[in-house]
Amino acid sequence: MNDNMNDNILEIRDLVVEYRTDEAIIHAVNGVNLVVKRGETLGLVGETGAGKTTIAKSILRILPTPPSKICGGEIVFDGEDLMQKSESAMRKIRGEKIAMIFQDPMTALNPIERIGAQISEAIAQHNKIKRYEAENRASDMLEMVGIPMERYNEYPHQFSGGMKQRVVIAMALACNPTLLIADEPTTALDVTIQAQVLEIMQSLKERLGTSVIMITHDLGVVANCCSSVAVIYAGEIVEYGSAVQVFDFPTHPYTIGLFGSLPKLNSTEPRLKPITGLMPDPANLPTGCSFYERCPDAKEQCSGSKPAMVEIEAGHFVKCFRDGGGE
C-alpha cells in the first residue's frame, strides 16, 4: 500500500470509535478501513445509525468528547496521521484541506449571522487576505452555487432548504479543500431539489478537482456520482469496491439485501424484498458476524466468530465467510 501513497488522499486504518454514557458503551465504529483515492468520489453507504457520520466527524476530529472517544486507528490524510496532530494543526486542516457538508441545512447555518459573513469567515480564517477580498471570494462562491450575490447579506431563515444547502456547499468549498465530506447532503431536501444540489456538487468537484466522500443511504445517489463504494453495517465495512463491481456483482448478503429492497423498473417481481429485522444494538454487539441475525445464508460458523475482509477480485473486498472470510 505504501507505494501508492500519493494516489490515496485519505486512508483510514482500524478506526474504532465509542460513545460512553452512564448507561453503556456504544460501539459506533468497529475497526473501519477505508481508502479514498485522489480526485475520486467514494460512496459510503449504510442505514441510519451504522456509523457513517461518526466516521466523517472522526476524520475532522470534531466529535463531541465526551461522550465520544476515538479508541484506536489511524487516519492518514495526504501522508500525515491526523490522530497525531495537535488541535491547532487540526484547525488549519478543517475547512482549508478537509471540508464537510452536513445533513440538515436547516440547522447547519448560524441563524443570526448573514450567510455571506458565514462563508467569508471560513475564507478569512485560512487566508491572510483583506476583509473585502474574503467578501469578494465569498460572493463569487455564492454565484458559483447559483445564488445571486445580492443575497449576500441575508439571513438563513430567508432561504429555502435547497438554497440553504447551496450556501453550505459554497461554505465548504470556499477554501478549495482537497477532500470534501458530504454527509447525506440531499436527505433533508425535496426530490427535485436533490438532483439540483447533486449536480452543483458534481460540477464543482470536477472544476476544483476535489476528492469526495459521499455519505448516503440512497443507492441512487451513489450510482449517480461515485466511482467506488463502501458498504457499512453496524460500524464495520462489509463490502468495498469500485462502483461497477459493487453494483454489478454485489457479494455481501447485506449489500445484496440493499439492492433487493430497491424498486427496479425492468423487474417482473411483484414485491420488493426488504431485509428483515433490525440492526443489532451498538451497545450490545454480537460476538460473531454482526449481520448474522438478519442474514438469509447464516451458518453456525457466523455466530461464533467474525469473518475477515477478503479480496475476491482486484479491488473488490468482502467480509463474509461465504466468500472465504474464514481463512
Partner 1 sequence: MIPIILGITLVVAIFIQIAPGDPARIKIGNEATEEEYQALRDEMGLDDPFFVRYFRFLGNALRGDFGKSFYNSRPVMAEIFQRFRYTIVIALLSVTLAVLVGVPLGIFAATHQYTIMDNAAIALALVCVSMPSFFFALLMIRFFALTLGILPPSGITTWQGWILPTLSLALGFAATITRQMRSNMLEVIRQDYITTARSKGLSEFKIRYKHALKNAIIPIIMIVGGIFGMALGGAMIAEIIFSVPGLGQYTLGGLTGRDYPIVQGSTFFMSVIFSVIMLLIDLGFAFIDPRIRSQFARRRKRERVS
Which CB atom, from 188 or from 246, has the smaller least distance to partner 1? Answer: 188
Which range touches partner 1 (CB under 8 A), out of 155-163, 186-194, 234-242, 301-309?
155-163
Rounded to whole angstroms, how far apart are CA atoms 295 and 185?
A: 30
Which residue from 6, 22, 66, 150 is in contact with partner 1, where contact means CB under 8 A? 66
- Binding of partner 1 by 157 (CB under 8 A): yes
Which CB atom, from 125 or from 303, has the smaller least distance to partner 1? Answer: 125
- Binding of partner 1 by 111 (CB under 8 A): yes
Size of the site for partner 1 (CB under 8 A): 31
Which range touches partner 1 (CB under 8 A), out of 104-112, 138-146, 213-221, 304-312?
104-112
- Binding of partner 1 by 169 (CB under 8 A): no
Give, in order, the Cα–Cα distances in Å from 150 to each of 139, 147, 168: 9, 8, 17
Which residue from 10, 15, 82, 171 is in contact with partner 1, where contact means CB under 8 A? 171
Computed on alpha carbons and rounded to an integer, the radius of gyration of the chain in Å comes to 20
The DSSP bridge partners found for residue 68 are 19
- Binding of partner 1 by 99 (CB under 8 A): yes
- Binding of partner 1 by 163 (CB under 8 A): no
Checking 224-228 for CB contacts under 8 A at 24+ apart, the result is 224/198, 225/41, 225/43, 225/198, 225/201, 226/41, 226/42, 226/43, 227/40, 227/41, 227/42, 228/37, 228/40, 228/41, 228/42, 228/43, 228/315
Which CB atom, from 152 or from 240, has the smaller least distance to partner 1? Answer: 152
Binding site for partner 1 (CB under 8 A): 57, 60, 62, 64, 66, 91-96, 99-100, 102, 104, 107-113, 121-122, 125-126, 155, 157-158, 168, 171
